[in-house]
Amino acid sequence: DAGVIQSPRHEVTEMGQEVTLRCKPISGHDYLFWYRQTMMRGLELLIYFNNNVPIDDSGMPEDRFSAKMPNASFSTLKIQPSEPRDSAVYFCASSQGSLGQYFGPGTRLTVL
Amino acid sequence: AQSVTQPDIHITVSEGASLELRCNYSYGATPYLFWYVQSPGQGLQLLLKYFSGDTLVQGIKGFEAEFKRSQSSFNLRKPSVHWSDAAEYFCAVGARLMEYGNKLVFGAGTILRVKS
């Protein structure tokens, strides 16, 4: 059974560029979560979806960040324009109800 | 609102020794409780979860955790640690009532070092 799939695994970009992170949740899961992890701030929830509908985006840092879930098997997190302070590891996780979240391997983003 | 405290930032144990990682939570009712492990450069892996019933929960990799309502604790244990257990461990709490959303609140993590 495939787990949560994220791409790319590593992304290096220059300040001001648009960055798109991708996530494929586990089939049958109805919740999808986007997190950011840094040494300074730890693990932060950015946004989560239920049945493709955004439920809580209070963790999205600012308007430069946006997330979409066009269907049950795909979600994107976009940063436009990117800044050096966005450098972090971004995780996607999915769950079936509240039965526990399953995390992807993460995307390590470096903004120069 | 839920909160989670992991009092130990770092713990070092000898290989073969027993392990207990502490987790205390704050929640107005019985929550859902989880332990996750994160190895360097990896995502978080679900070790075990408590929803209801038996307060001693068995997980993967030989880990177990015990829910103690009176102490608001959910400590993680392993009888004999292996060098491959060196990682960061996160305790998390989730709300039972969906009206509070389906978010998990994570503790700050405990880094486990294993010495040979």
Comparing B1-5, B14-18, B68-72, the range with the smallest average pLDDT is: B1-5
Tokens coding A72 = 């049950």
**Residue of chain B whose Cα is closest to the Cα of A47:** B103
Q: How confident is the model over B20-47, as pLDDT tens digits?
A: 999 999 987 778 999 999 999 899 999 9
* pLDDT for res B98: 60
N-term to C-term CA, chain B: 41
* Nearest CB to B43; choose among A48, A55, A104: A104
Model confidence at B103, pLDDT cuts 50, 70, 90, reads confident
- The residue among A49, A61, A1 whose CA lies nearest residue A27 is A1
Using DSSP, how many helices (H) and how many strands (E) does chain A show?
Answer: 0, 11
In angstroms, rounded to a whole number, what is the distance separating the alpha carbons of residues A71 and B31?
30
Residues of B in contact with A48 (CB under 8 A): 101-103
Chain B contact residues (CB < 8 Å to A): 32, 34, 36, 42-46, 49, 90, 94-96, 98, 101-104, 106, 108-109
| Ramachandran region, residue B112 (left: φ > 0; alpha: ψ -120 to 50; beta: rest) | beta
Does B49 contact A95 at a Cβ distance shorter than 8 Å? Answer: no
The encoded tokens of residue A55 equal: 């439920």
Max Cα–Cα distance, chain A, nearest Å = 39
How many cross-chain Cβ pairs, A to B, lie less than 8 Å apart? 47
Tell whether A31 lies on the interface with B, counting CB pairs under 8 A: yes
Note the residue count of chain A. 112
Please write the tens of the pLDDT for every residue from A60-90. Answer: 988 999 999 999 999 999 999 999 999 999 9
**Averaged pLDDT score across all residues of chain B:** 92
What per-residue confidence (pLDDT) applies to B99? Answer: 59
Q: Where are the beta strands (DSSP E) in A14-58?
A: 19-24, 31-38, 42-50, 53-56
Closest CA to B19 of B66, B80, B68: B80
At B100, the pLDDT band (50, 70, 90 cuts) reads: low
Determine the average pLDDT of the residues in A36-42: 93
Does pLDDT of A91 surpass 70?
yes
